Every structure is written in structure tokens, then in C-alpha cells.
Chain A
Amino acid sequence: MFKGKKVLCIGERDGVPGSAIAECIKTAGGEPVLQLTQCFV
């Protein structure tokens, strides 16, 4: 499902951070092209 895909990892500070999503996606063969961690506070 993620092989060869360009993945936008849009995380949140109080949820799952962008960097944690990216670490996961890499193991599934996806390429994180953007890591964002939203912080509204």
C-alpha cells in the first residue's frame, strides 16, 4: 500500500507526532516527503 508512495505525515503534538508517523511509513516502503507536527497551543 505504501510502496513507492510519497507520503505527507501530518502529525500532532498531542497525538502522534509527524516524525513518529514518518518512522513507521519508512518501514512500509513509503517515502515521507513532508513531516509536520501541528501545535495549536
Chain B
Amino acid sequence: MDLEDQGIIKKTVEEQDSISAVMVVLGSPDDKSAEMYAETVKNGDPTYAGPLAGVSLGLPVYHILEDEVKEHIDPEVYQQQVGMMEMVLDKESITRVVKKIREG
């Protein structure tokens, strides 16, 4: 993940009153990038290059394509914002890898 963005994420998390109220929702287009992002916000930067290297934020991380996310969202808005991408992206492999890291 971009190093500057790691810094922004770290700062945003630190600014919140309670870390237990913080969650991450990803929109990555494939399993490889979803894995990298999920790993970074949960366990720290896997490339050990950025501000999140060795920083385990432990945030609950989801992908917008996961059914357990989708069911909480207004269906009309979801269709409008995500509908096409749900068909286009490899939903199964993306959601599998994010779920594995979240629960791992």
C-alpha cells in the first residue's frame, strides 16, 4: 500500500476516540490487492516499508462485495454504486481472502 496512505490511515485511526468503533471496508479489484490491504490494516505493512510496518492495528476488515456487508446497505444505493462491479470482479476469491485475514 502507498506509504503516504498508510500514514493517513494510521493518523485517522489515532484520532478516533475509541479504536473498537473503527472498521475498514475495501474496494480492491482483485484478490492480490485485497490481501495486501487487508493484511496492512490488520497485521501491519507486509513489505515493512511504510508507517504501518510492525504496527498491528487489528482493525476488522471487510470488502464491499461481501454478502454480510451488502445485506446492511440500501439495495438501491448498492446496485447503483457497486452493482456492475459485483458482476465484473471475482467476488468469490476477493471475499474469501479478506474473510480469511479478518478471521485469521
Q: Which residues of A contact B (CB under 8 A)?
A: 1-2, 4-12, 14-18, 20-21, 23-25, 27-30, 33-34, 36, 38, 40
A23: which B residues are within 8 A, CB to CB?
Answer: 77, 81
B8: which A residues are within 8 A, CB to CB?
Answer: 34, 36
A28: which B residues are within 8 A, CB to CB?
Answer: 72-74
Q: Which residues of B contact A (CB under 8 A)?
A: 1-2, 5, 8-9, 12-13, 16, 21-30, 33, 37, 41, 59, 64-65, 68-69, 72-74, 77-78, 81-82, 85, 89
Contact B82 A16 (CB under 8 A): yes
Contact A5 B21 (CB under 8 A): yes
